């Protein structure tokens, strides 16, 4: 049981280049999330998917697109990278707990540097 | 939407002392409050959570208290050890609708425990 996995671990891009961050979970969770983490800013939600086939914007969606490929996989795409997108990106997935709350589990993160 | 404020931003204690981190939230409908610990270069990991029908919850050296009337909750770590040094994040979540399962994070507290 690998939990939540992310690829790549580290990536350097030039301004204007595109790339896709991959995320997969093997815990049979319904919901998946993409966050970015910047110093002093905590974790900010980019997009989330409450179930297979649905996606919704979070707090900071501009410049990003997502695809919920199936129940296991949720990808984040940067169409034209900008230096402001330099950050650490975390994917998370969650299940509905017995008391009705969604407990989120995080992947190891992808460090992205845009020059 | 929900806003979560976390204080202090940095906290330095001596080994064996107690540490307290406080968070306030704005949305009175929020009912789930997890705490995450993030070690340097690692992913956030859930350490304890509390639901709005509970006032306090303990797990060994850590405890969380919730005051629904005042809309604040706190993390208490007793008998701190150097391995408790990390960044701690609080978060809040409200049930139902399009917000279901989405967490709003505080800005984080850097805890340093000196031997």
Task: Give, in degrees to the nearest 5, the angle at Cα A53 between A52 and A55.
Answer: 95
Count the residues in chain B: 115
| pLDDT at residue B52 in the model | 81
Please check the confidence at residue A55 and state whether its pLDDT lies above 90: yes
Tell me the nearest-neighbour CA distance from B38 into chain A, angstroms.
Answer: 11
Partners of A40 on chain B (C-beta within 8 Å) are 9, 107-108
Residue to mutate among B43, B47, B66, B108, with most A CBs inside 10 A, is B43
Partners of A99 on chain B (C-beta within 8 Å) are 51
pLDDT digits (tens, 9 = 90+) for B39-76: 999 999 999 999 887 899 999 999 999 999 999 999 99
Residue of A nearest to B39 (CA): A108
| pLDDT at residue A99 in the model | 65
A49-58, A104-113, B20-29, B32-41 — which is least confidently predicted? A49-58
CA distance A112 to A110: 6
Of B49, B95, B107, the CB nearest to A41: B107
CB contact under 8 A, A100 and B43: no
pLDDT band at B110 (very low <50, low <70, confident <90, very high): very high
CA distance A42 to B110: 11
A2-6, B12-16, B102-106 — which is least confidently predicted? B102-106
Residue to mutate among B44, B94, B99, with most A CBs inside 10 A, is B44
| pLDDT at residue A53 in the model | 87
- Alpha carbons within 13 angstroms on the beta-carbon side of residue A108 total 8
Higher model confidence: residue B30 or residue A90?
A: A90
Tokens of A21: 């961050």
Of B9, B44, B93, the CB nearest to A102: B93
CA distance B81 to B14: 8
A43 and chain B: CB distance < 8 Å anywhere? yes
Query: Terminus-to-terminus CA distance in chain A, angstroms?
Result: 36
* pLDDT over 70, % of chain B: 94
Mean pLDDT of chain B: 92
Tokens of A59: 């707090």
| pLDDT at residue A68 in the model | 95
| pLDDT at residue A78 in the model | 96
| pLDDT at residue B97 in the model | 53
DSSP state of B93: B
| pLDDT at residue B99 in the model | 52
Please check the confidence at residue A1 and state whether its pLDDT lies above 80: no
CA distance B70 to B76: 18
Region label for B74, one of left (φ > 0), alpha (ψ between -120 and 50) or beta (otherwise): beta
| pLDDT at residue A100 in the model | 65
Of these ranges, A98-102, B94-98, B108-112, the one predicted with the greatest mean pLDDT is B108-112
Please check the confidence at residue B18 and state whether its pLDDT lies above 70: yes
| pLDDT at residue B100 in the model | 58
Residues of B with CB under 8 A from a CB of A: 1, 6, 9, 31-32, 34, 42-46, 49, 51, 89, 93, 95, 98, 100-108
């Amino acid at each position: 049981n690998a939990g939540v996995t992310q690829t790549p671990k580290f990536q350097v891009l030039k301004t204007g280049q595109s790339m896709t961050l991959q995320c997969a979970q093997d815990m049979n969770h319904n919901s998946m999330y993409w966050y970015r983490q910047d110093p002093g800013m905590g974790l900010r939600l980019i997009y989330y998917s409450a179930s297979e086939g649905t996606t919704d914007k979070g707090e900071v969606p501009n410049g990003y697109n997502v695809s919920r490929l199936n129940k296991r996989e949720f990808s984040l795409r940067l169409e034209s990278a900008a230096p402001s997108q330099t950050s650490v990106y975390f994917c998370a997935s969650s299940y509905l707990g017995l008391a009705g709350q969604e407990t989120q589990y995080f992947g190891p993160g992808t460090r992205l540097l845009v020059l | 939407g929900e806003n979560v404020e976390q204080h202090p931003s940095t906290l330095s204690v001596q080994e064996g002392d107690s540490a307290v981190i406080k968070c306030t939230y704005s949305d009175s409908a929020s009912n789930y409050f997890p705490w995450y610990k993030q070690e340097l270069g690692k992913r956030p990991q859930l350490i304890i959570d509390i639901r709005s029908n509970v006032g306090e919850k303990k797990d060994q050296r850590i405890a969380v208290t919730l005051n629904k009337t005042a809309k604040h909750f706190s993390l208490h770590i007793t008998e701190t050890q150097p391995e408790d040094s990390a960044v701690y994040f609080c978060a809040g979540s409200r049930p139902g609708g399009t917000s279901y399962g989405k967490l709003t994070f505080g800005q984080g507290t850097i805890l340093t425990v000196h031997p």
